[in-house]
Amino acid sequence: MTTQDALFEYLLRLGDNTLILGHRVSEWCGHAPVLEEDIALANTALDLIGQTQMWLGLAGEVEGKGRSADDLAMLRDVWDFRNVLLVEQPNGDFGQTILRQFLFDAFHFDLLTGLTKASDDRVASIAAKAVKEVTYHLDRSSETVIGLGDGTEESHTRMQAALDRLWPYVGELFAADEVDAAMQDAGIAPDLSELSSSYHTRMSAVLAEATLVAPEGGFAHSGGKTGFRHSEHLGHLLTQMQWLQRAYPGAQW
């Protein structure tokens, strides 16, 4: 695999993570438990889709085959997506949505911080813009996890159930492969093992304050970031997200 090929794959991972999570979060629009959360979740989704436009736009440029960000988002099939399995998991209740957001935000913040130092100025520039938004995402999701986890008996029970369900998807965030190695060697991506240390330190602090306990055991689902295996949920999500473009190819407003 050439450095150029690895960069294309890596950019797909970055863009697909934000695209799929952004779509998931947007599903709450008009359905959140209170108006403030409805607006906050919609804004988070917009931030993530904006980041997707930049990452997939750069991916199309690197690929050099004339595909735009829209083409990459709307015209690929499920096996071509490179997002981690965590972000495609269903919203569930509000607690599960916020817990999923926090688990990803903590990783996303550290990753983007590392990418601001990338040897590729294009990557560094996008990361510098995105990390400002993700700083807010992380502050909000961590505070909400603490508030719900250390809240009522009902909210605590729901948050613990969400953590039990989603924790097995965390390991994939730090599972390095040849693409990650190539990007690290090229001075573009940070070392995932170093990010893992920072991540779990943050997790320990926030979960302790939220009175939540991470499940024991090292099992981790995998396959999403390589496209080898996605959950059935991604197919249903893409059916909703892509149907208009697929039904009317090339249609414009």
How many CA atoms, within 13 angstroms, populate the side-chain half-sphere of residue 72? Answer: 32
What tens digit of pLDDT does each residue of 135-194 get? 999 999 999 999 999 999 999 999 999 999 999 999 999 999 999 999 999 999 999 999
Structural domain boundaries, residue 74: 3-247
B/e letters for 74-94, b = 16+ CB within 10 Å, e = fewer, are bebebeebbbbbbbbbeeeeb
- 19 within domain boundaries: yes
196 within a domain of the structure (yes/no): yes
Q: How far is it, in rounded angstroms, from Cα 99 to Cα 237?
A: 20
Q: Per-residue pLDDT tens for 68-125?
A: 999 999 999 999 999 999 999 999 999 999 999 999 999 999 999 999 999 999 999 9
Q: Is residue 224 part of a domain?
A: yes
pLDDT tens digits, residue range 192-244? 999 999 999 999 999 999 999 999 988 999 999 999 999 999 999 999 999 99
In the prediction, which pLDDT does 113 show?
Answer: 98
Provide, rounded to the nearest whole percent, the portion of the chain with pLDDT above 70: 100
What is the pTM for the complete model shown?
0.96
Residue 143 counted as domain residue: yes
Exposed, middle or buried: residue 117 (CB in 10 Å: 0-12, 13-18, 19+)?
Answer: middle
Count of domains forming the chain: 1
Structure tokens at 93: 């209740």
CB contact at 8 A, 252 and 106: no
The answer to whether residue 253 sits within a structural domain is no
Return the CATH number at 177.
1.20.1260.10
